Structure 1
């Protein structure tokens, strides 16, 4: 089960789902499965929700909106779906006796074989004579663990958690490229190089050295006042650049530092020198904004919003969350938007096994390319396309 969350306006989310119930095409029409209002009437529902808003006028994002998507092999009737949704809402801290909710089954996905429902709840509730607000703190981890418990309870197909999904799988474009050219993408090549360096390293210094030997330069997000590391970016000889989370959980700094012997007091110098080499080597690239840095309040360096938006393709586990208004933006990239542009996809369906099947004999092991040829030789077609687009 995949849960894609968004904390935003209850009214906006309700109207999005409600409009789908009014569509004439039965293949596109949404179905109301459950709710706890006196009756399913938009005017009455909006009036009830407005009364709650008046109790907590400072809560801007009063709606908790989650899309639950199930695997093709999950056989679920409406009664079972309602039961799962109620378990989910209660597991996330909502009380059907205190918080309003509505549940819709959608039939407009790309693959109609996949069950896809939307659950909308009011974050503001009323219990024992007082207004309460359900917190959205730590929603990501909470929801992920809850999904695993629900899968086990109802015998659903198991989705790997984000902690288990160490390698981010190739996407559709990358698979097509491998099938067409027999060559891995820059990102796939970088994954293999960094993985090889990590497997051959037992310290930060050796990891930095091994990566450079394979043509991958490291840029640590290192505080200039405390030397604390809060992230890592990889840059290949050809200028391809990716944050650790774009490659997968294995490549994030927290996991890297757990795999090798890292001591801030002894490794800060090696990290500082690695940063200096990377900035000198790729000065032109970084100055153009592909990896522009600005100083933060804590003295560390961070990338500008433009690059952040471009390179933070979230290494997804089983769900994502979006926030706006008065609530802080999460660190990962958010996807799976709701509204007219809604597109709910499966959880990166392409995995390493599929990649190998598609690539066939042309590329049975990406690791064979590592160290045997330059990134330019391996991915020349892709580089040419990139240059043409830049012109």
Structure 2
């Protein structure tokens, strides 16, 4: 079924919500300086607490999509996002800021799995769907880059005002209300002329879903370390101020944007070997960051790392849309979104964990150990992919 350009534009514009944390990344050092009395948990919650809330609500949104139209749920999500995001720039104490950030995460938890589920519902051809998901992810990165750069420059004079960037939710809300088709709840959807709430349903492939989720957890957790901690890394290395941090953050999202625009082509060629590629390339990026290099190699490492993240995000979403039965697509998207949310929430704590286990004393040393971890993941992925290909070849010959 063909869908109009304005519907595609509306769906793709929703991707900005997942990049709300791009506004916060350049502000980390200033938030810590403004609230030095706050506990480490409170400080980290402002940075990645949205991911924790998104995780919990994502699972609920998948269930809600069984009973309510995705359009109605998305309207609620963007309304909440606009209010919480804008109010974040008006409050002047850490408790209220934490509450607003938490509500922003609730909105993200509603929006992300529903938008991705809508793509799977409206675009059934794998090539077209992977293309839309790639563009969705690419534009998510583009939004993130623009938001990060803008926040970095605004933060030079007033870091709280950077939160007003979240007002972009208002035009997206209007597009959703006016142009998005009202699809029926998933329990009422027919798939290939068979009602999904019929007595016989295709079972959810638990093993495949688990494998995809575990891979996504490690990839996202380790990538988000540099995403969230780029400000601490730049400050520790004395490479620049908040404007430089904003630019470097945007380079990562530039890499994601670039890979998203061509993801469909890459995916159709690499498929099961995609995880091996992005794990190993991200390991190389962290290895560069562990060295005493200048701003240009750091920038290149950020671009490559962002491209790896963009490729991995699109890959996991496409894989979920492929393995999940029609009646459970939103549930699958909710699960993978929750996994990504958990990994984003845990990412700021990874440095402390590595420092404690390996007795490390600098963020650069930690990045070397993260590179080794990623290389191990890439090697395991290659072994499993080769094993899967061998099994497929063997079964085809029988």
- Smaller-chain TM-score bracket: under 0.3
Q: TM-score when scaled to structure 2?
A: 0.23
Q: TM-score when scaled to structure 1?
A: 0.23
Larger radius of gyration: 1
Task: Answer 1 or 2: which has greater helix percent.
Answer: 2
